Amino acid sequence: MDFKVDKVTINNVQHVCFVDGDDSPLTGSQVINWANAYIRKEKGHNTISSQATEAKHLLVGLNYFFSKQIDLVERVSAGEFLTLSEVSDFARHSFKKAKFIKRDTESQGKIASLSSKDVLSPAFKSAAFEAERVANGTAVARMNSIKSFIEYLFKRLHTAFSGADTVINKNNTLRNLTLEIIKAKPENTKVIDVDKPIFDDEVLSAIFEITQPSHPDNPFRSRSQFRNRLILDSIFSTGIRRGALLQAKITDLHDENIEYISIEKRVNNDDPRLHRPTQKTQTGVAPLEPELMNDLKHYIESIRVNYPKSEDHDFIFIAESGKTAGQPLSKTGFDYIFEILSLALSKKLGREVKVTPHMIRHYWNFDFSEKAREAGISKTETERLRKLIMTWSAKSTMSDTYDMFDRLKQVRKIKQGLQNKLFNEE
């Protein structure tokens, strides 16, 4: 079936929904109609980006069951749910990358050709599977979305006095899904390499060199050079997320006693962008250097003001070319800045260089650890300040990664000092 995830604006409020080939959210599929209700009612409190991610994970499962001619709504309504083998088959499918799912869908009904390598080499099959699989976390998210959808359907289609068989079948299906989810253990992605900095000195120097306005190697159009450098300076200075910076408004800037930017988690119904950026976590504040605040003011008062469409909103950063000039800068436009910068750096340094906003955020955290330690700030206060600026909750464990990195560096420094001392004594 031809369905996709889209965003629609109703009464100036954005919604995530599944649409058909005619881009209509009202489809002829009862499963999709129920799925739209699920996203709206069960996930509506999440950010638009989170809703879209959930919908994409769910659509992978829905398309799989469509291909197997399994109507989840009919199954749940009849109290039959899914068998153990159906859950197992779906779990295996959840690990497939999208392009391989598409390949398998297009080849359905065709006779597969088997080579001797296919038949005789288990190692070859294993290697092929690894190349086609998504990360465990993605597979888990897909299975969790179907599990949550089935639970939602059960609540809506059955009363508290459902038959015993229905309840047993439901519990068995959810338990089998849970077991498959548990088996997909998350990979250890928090491997810390103290010898591999986010950006080495050569890359850092090149970033700040070629992004100077009017620099001969500046890869950006002259009209956008100041804005793009200002975006880079803002992220390097505060570690702010892409979504938070794109949705930041002029009124979020403060310079009464000390310069800072408010990082607000809010619903911007006045945002004309189709893909509205949002602040991922809670609200917070980030201090700004006086020079950066002055540059932001100059941009707002001397550059931004020259675009008539900028008068219709108060988002700080705007598009500066094309039909959208003066409108809030889009996520696509923002990402394009870093694509162009990465290509320019790779060309200049003669090696592949990648720069993303999230990499700069990581760099900020590692640099913050070193600066705080040099300033004599306690570990407790360092982590309190980090969580405030990064807008992490008090329960977040993200700061532990950066604290561990800093501790590993200190341990190695001490060990190297002892080794040097022993060597010199000999």
pLDDT in tens, 163-177: 889 999 999 999 999
pLDDT over 70 percentage in the chain: 82
Q: Which of 212, 54, 204, 266 is nearest to 140 (CA)?
A: 54
Alpha carbon 378 to chain centroid, angstroms: 31
Which residues, other chains included, contact 258 with Cβ-Cβ below 8 Å and sequence gap of 6+? Answer: 287
How far is residue 172's CA from residue 163's CA, in Å, rounded to a whole number? 14
Let me know if 8 is exposed, middle or buried by CB neighbors in 10 A (0-12, 13-18, 19+): middle
Q: What number of other Cβ atoms are within 10 A of residue 15's Cβ?
A: 17
Which residues, other chains included, contact 103 with Cβ-Cβ below 8 Å and sequence gap of 6+? Answer: none
Asked if residue 356 has pLDDT above 60, the reply is: yes
pLDDT in tens, 67-111: 999 999 999 999 999 999 999 999 999 999 887 776 665 555 554
Alpha carbon 318 to chain centroid, angstroms: 22
**Taking residues 273-287, what's their average pLDDT?**
83
Q: What number of other Cβ atoms are within 10 A of residue 381's Cβ?
A: 10
Q: What number of other Cβ atoms are within 10 A of residue 37's Cβ?
A: 14
pTM: 0.63
Contact 180, 91 (CB under 8 A): yes
**Taking residues 335-350, what's their average pLDDT?**
95
pLDDT, residue 149, reads 96
Which residues, other chains included, contact 143 with Cβ-Cβ below 8 Å and sequence gap of 6+? Answer: 61, 90, 91, 94, 177, 180, 181, 184
Instruction: List C-alpha distances in Å: 63 to 75, 119, 127, 135, 387.
Output: 16, 29, 26, 20, 40
Asked if residue 194 has pLDDT above 80, the reply is: no
Confidence of residue 57 (pLDDT cuts 50, 70, 90): very high
Residue at 8: amino acid letter: V
- Output 142 or 191, whichever has higher pLDDT: 142
In the chain, the domains with their CATH numbers are 4-106+116-183 (no CATH), 201-359 (1.10.443.10)
pLDDT in tens, 324-342: 999 999 999 999 999 999 9
Instruction: List C-alpha distances in Å: 41 to 4, 15, 47, 50, 374.
Output: 19, 11, 13, 14, 49
Characterize the bridge pairing of strands 13-19 and 260-263. unpaired
How far is residue 35's CA from residue 16's CA, in Å, rounded to a whole number? 11
Confidence of residue 278 (pLDDT cuts 50, 70, 90): confident
pLDDT in tens, 286-324: 889 999 999 999 999 999 999 999 999 999 999 999 999
Asked if residue 416 has pLDDT above 70, the reply is: no
pLDDT, residue 343, reads 96
How far is residue 83's CA from residue 89's CA, in Å, rounded to a whole number? 10
The sign of the torsion formed by the CA atoms of 381, 382, 387, 388 equals positive
pLDDT, residue 122, reads 54
pLDDT, residue 124, reads 46
pLDDT in tens, 179-188: 999 988 765 5
pLDDT in tens, 116-139: 445 445 544 455 555 678 889 999
